[in-house]
Amino acid sequence: MKRVLITGAAGFLGSHLCDRFLKDGYQVVGMDNLITGDLKNIEHLFASEHFEFYHHDVSKFIHVPGKLDFVLHFASPASPIDYLKIPIQTLKVGSLGIHNCLGLAKDKKARLLIASTSEVYGDPTVHPQTESYWGNVNPVGPRGVYDEAKRFQEAITMAYHTFHGLETRIVRIFNTYGPRMRLNDGRVLPAFIGQALRGEDLTVFGDGSQTRSFCYVDDLIEGIVRLLHSDYSGPVNIGNPDEITISEFAEEIIKLTGTQQKVIYKPLPTDDPKQRRPDISLAKSLLGWEPKVSRSEGLKITYDYFKSLTEDELNKVEHKDFTRFIK
């Protein structure tokens, strides 16, 4: 039986990866310090004899007894508000955390895959974004702690590959959504759905002309699994190229939820990327992968998930005052 370590296992993507690898017949070792992750996302796995969990901060030395065939580094705050609230931890998990994971993978002779991000492209001047584009990142802006940590993470992973011959994979993840996103992490999709469910107006930042391209979580996980098993060590974009403006997206959520509320406009956060859409030609040719779930299907499933949350969860406000994060 193959054994995989998944860091950030109690998070949105980490928990879906745990499900997938258990389904595929792996022994899964989950690790999370639970700063942004939630045990609720993996509590259904604790009964499985094939699942183990370490409550541990990967920025500190990692010890995992026994063999490991794969290491997947998914631990990191991932919403703009999270990494503004905990900037140092964000930098540490993308630097010290990956260094520990690389050392562990080297010791175990395991293949390592890192979760990188479209944020490595910053506020892109090339559209859509191809893997060969080097990006436009402000290192000292509020997003710098995340963007530069992820860029460092790619660099050190490549260095372990070329210098130590470690088998490595790099997935650049574009905006992804689905069940188990935190309702109040400040990201646009849970923000809009949460507002609709609470009977509040939907807050569009800026004039709403900025674009994003949203990928349903099952599609992303499929892409990651295919990349892991490929023999390609360069970065690969995984995301859905179906691009939409944030204003149009707000209208879709209003329609989906049937809310009577309206859209209100707030200032645009500093360095908020104006356009984002993945060029997925490489993933298509290399992995035979492309997204299958349309936004209308994916949003329906995600809305049903958010509707099933308790009143307490719905009203738990983690980020009451967004304006303090806006210059």
Q: Which of 210, 213, 237, 275 touches ligand UDP by CB under 6 A? A: 210
CB of 2 to ligand UDP, least distance (A): 33
User: Judged by CB under 6 A, does residue 84 bind ligand UDP?
Assistant: no
Q: What residue has token string 């500190």?
A: 60
Separation of alpha carbons 294 and 299, rounded Å:
8
CB of 93 to ligand UDP, least distance (A): 17
Query: Coil, strand or helix: which one is 279?
Result: coil
Backbone angles phi, psi at 157, to 5 degrees: -65, -45
User: Judged by CB under 6 A, does residue 80 bind ligand UDP?
Assistant: yes
The piece of 89-97, 197-205, 231-239, 309-317 that touches ligand UDP (CB under 6 A) is 197-205
Pairing of strands 70-73, 111-117: parallel
Which C-beta is closer to ligand UDP: that of 54 or that of 325?
A: 325
Q: Which of 36, 175, 213, 257 touches ligand UDP by CB under 6 A? A: 175
Residue partners of 94: CB distance under 8 A and separation at least 6: 76, 146, 149, 150, 152, 153
The piece of 65-73, 97-105, 204-212, 290-298 that touches ligand UDP (CB under 6 A) is 204-212
Q: What residue has token string 């460092």?
A: 152
User: Judged by CB under 6 A, does residue 182 bind ligand UDP?
Assistant: no
Residue 252 exposed, middle or buried by CB count within 10 Å (0-12, 13-18, 19+): middle
User: Judged by CB under 6 A, does residue 191 bind ligand UDP?
Assistant: yes
User: Judged by CB under 6 A, does residue 299 bind ligand UDP?
Assistant: no
Residue partners of 111: CB distance under 8 A and separation at least 6: 69, 70, 71, 105, 166, 167, 168, 169, 228
Which of 26, 83, 121, 146 is labelled catalytic?
146
The piece of 134-142, 160-168, 200-208, 222-230 that touches ligand UDP (CB under 6 A) is 200-208
Query: Coil, strand or helix: which one is 27?
Result: strand
User: 255, 195 in Cβ contact below 8 A?
Assistant: no
Q: Give the count of residues interacting with ligand UDP (CB under 6 A).
A: 15
Query: Coil, strand or helix: which one is 107?
Result: helix
User: Judged by CB under 6 A, does residue 79 bind ligand UDP?
Assistant: yes
Closest CA to 226 of 24, 6, 15: 24
Q: Which of 133, 205, 305, 325 touches ligand UDP by CB under 6 A? A: 205
User: Judged by CB under 6 A, does residue 237 bind ligand UDP?
Assistant: no
Which C-beta is closer to ligand UDP: that of 190 or that of 223?
A: 190
Q: Is 146 a catalytic residue?
A: yes
Q: Among the residues of 70-211, which ranges form H helices? A: 80-85, 87-108, 144-164, 188-198
Residue partners of 86: CB distance under 8 A and separation at least 6: 35, 36, 77
Q: In the structure encoding, which two tokens stand for residue 215, read together? A: 């990928």
User: Judged by CB under 6 A, does residue 170 bind ligand UDP?
Assistant: no
Site for ligand UDP, residues 94 to 113, rule: CB under 6 A: none
Which C-beta is closer to ligand UDP: that of 28 or that of 204?
A: 204
Chain residues that interact with ligand UDP, rule: CB under 6 A: 79-80, 175, 186-188, 191, 203-205, 210, 212, 246, 269, 272
Active site residues: 146
